[in-house]
Structure 1
Amino acid sequence: MKVAVSGFKGRMGHEVVKTILKEEGLELIAVLDHKPKEKNICEIAEFSTVDVPVYSDLATMLEESKPDCVVDFTTPKVGYNNTKTIIEHGVRAVVGTTGFQAEQIAELRKMAETKKIGAVIAPNFAVGAVLMMQFAQKAAKYFPNVEIIELHHDNKLDAPSGTAVKTAEMMAEVRDYVKQGAEEEVELIEGARGGEFEGMRIHSVRLPGLVAHQEVIFGAEGQGLTLRHDSYDRVSFMSGVALAVRKTKELETLIYGLENILD
């Protein structure tokens, strides 16, 4: 399966390149960066033995390299347009870029179904994180009082994280609505209680040294429950990325969330 990587110089994109190069049945045929200094990835010392062209324009890469699938880890600012361009060219997509709105996902799904091609957008490709979201959804049915704390490196551009939003969405499907906090509570510093989603509070932490971490904290009379997942290294996401790439061959629609392709 021929694979191209968009955003290959980012931390996640770099890890994806290494993964595709070693995964059996997957072949890296092109990479994309918005302002590349190189014409070939072999000009980078780490990939000196790899002959793969570097592109600066997504449409050109799609037309010239003709990949079966593009893995996109870029920024929220360009993620939607990139995914749209990939699908418009009849190419499968695996997207880890976050910040998509519900209506954008719906539009992209309609495009994928029209083209009859598979695509996967996932806020988190770590299997452990997906399990955490599923456990949180199960718990929310019985513990409606809940808050989310997500922690990421300080270069992350969007807040809250896609994982936190997805977790909240999944819990909202089964949870009785409860607005967290006292009815008359006052924030002495604006934003101290975090963002609100369906009555749940979401708190975002950004610090150097972190990768990707999340706690879902439930409270009830006389008891508490805390679910936590930690990604200490970006390699934790790669098995999910490889799974999603292969899964796109079986799909004729866009799937949102890795949990929806796990057996």
Structure 2
Amino acid sequence: MTGGVIRVGVAGAAGRVGQAICAGVEAAGDLVLAGRADPALDTPLASILGDCDVVVDFTRPDTALDNALACVTAGVHVVIGTTGFDPAPLAERRGPGNAFLAPNFAIGAVLMMRFAVEASRHMARAEIIELHHDAKLDAPSGTARRTAELMEGDVPIHSVRLPGLVAHQEVILGDVGQTLTIRHDSTDRTSFVPGVLLAVRHVARQDEPLVVGLERLLFPDAA
């Protein structure tokens, strides 16, 4: 970090989310885009680490953990939006870098999850329907798994993968004579950018080697 400016690298920079993150970083006055890593750009992550304070990872479940471990070992903080892998090794301090992971960086999605958790305390049963684009590799989504984990009771999850979708989730709760539906829709990948930048600005200050969930930043008193 130089002069208060955070140098940010993006892993998965050629992907649709990666491109949106790069544009968001470039538009922020306190951040600078220090590197873009992606096999499609013929640029490995290792080649940009020395230029970065924080790396944002939106890659694949089979590479995200290795990427994150490489970052924290090198003293580079990492913000992870990739899901579908076990992040447990990042909870062990392996280097001076910190890791922040969120199943969903859309602030509206985090609010949806919070409302669903509260509603589950007062309604008899609930189920989740999550809908994503057909190129998404993991099912159920990390957002749906995290929502069900936080809610009261056993919450089944149903996954839909179709072209034309981006990221959508419904939590349907039922009780005697009534239902309640809580839904969030990301219609564009730019919806993830504000949450990612919030995490980029926070990750160096966190006390734990791994923090999971954007709700930890939006609602710190409830964590």
- TM-score norm. by structure 2 comes to 0.91
Picking from 39, 45, 48, the partner of 1:61 is: 48
Picking from 146, 168, 177, the partner of 2:126 is: 146
Aligned residue number for residue 36 of structure 2: 31
Unaligned runs of 5+ in 2: 1-5
AA in 2 matched with 1:130 = V
Picking from 103, 118, 121, the partner of 1:123 is: 103
Picking from 188, 203, 216, the partner of 1:248 is: 203
Aligned residue number for residue 17 of structure 1: 22
Max Rg structure: 1
Q: Deviations over 1:122-158 (max 9, x none)?
A: 0100000001111111111112411000001111111
Q: Deviations over 1:36-75 (max 9, x none)?
A: 25xxxxxxxxxxxxxxxxx2x2223214x2x100000001
Aligned residue number for residue 73 of structure 1: 58
SS of the residue 2:10 aligns to: strand
Determine the C-alpha separation between the residues in 1 that align with 2:204 and 2:144: 28
Unaligned runs of 5+ in 1: 38-54, 178-198
Residue 93 of structure 1 pairs with residue 78 of structure 2 = yes
SS of the residue 2:185 aligns to: strand
Q: How does 1:107-186 map to 2 (within 5 A)?
A: 107-111=89-93, 115-171=95-151, 175=152, 177=153
When residues 115 and 252 of structure 1 are mapped into structure 2, their CA distance, relative to the original with a 3 A threshold, is farther
Determine the C-alpha separation between the residues in 1 that align with 2:47 and 2:23: 23
- How many residues align? The count is 213
AA in 2 matched with 1:95 = I
Picking from 161, 166, 191, the partner of 1:211 is: 166
- TM-score norm. by structure 1 comes to 0.78
Q: Deviations over 1:151-188 (max 9, x none)?
A: 011111110110000000111xxx2x4xxxxxxxxxxx
Q: How does 1:191-230 map to 2 (within 5 A)?
A: 199-230=154-185
AA in 1 matched with 2:200 = V
Q: CA RMSD in A?
A: 1.4
Q: Deviations over 1:10-48 (max 9, x none)?
A: 1110100101111111001111012425xxxxxxxxxxx
**Contact 2:73 2:96 (C-alpha < 8 Å) held by counterparts:** no
SS of the residue 1:83 aligns to: helix
Determine the C-alpha separation between the residues in 2 that align with 1:247 and 1:261: 8
AA in 2 matched with 1:256 = V
**Contact 2:166 2:189 (C-alpha < 8 Å) held by counterparts:** yes
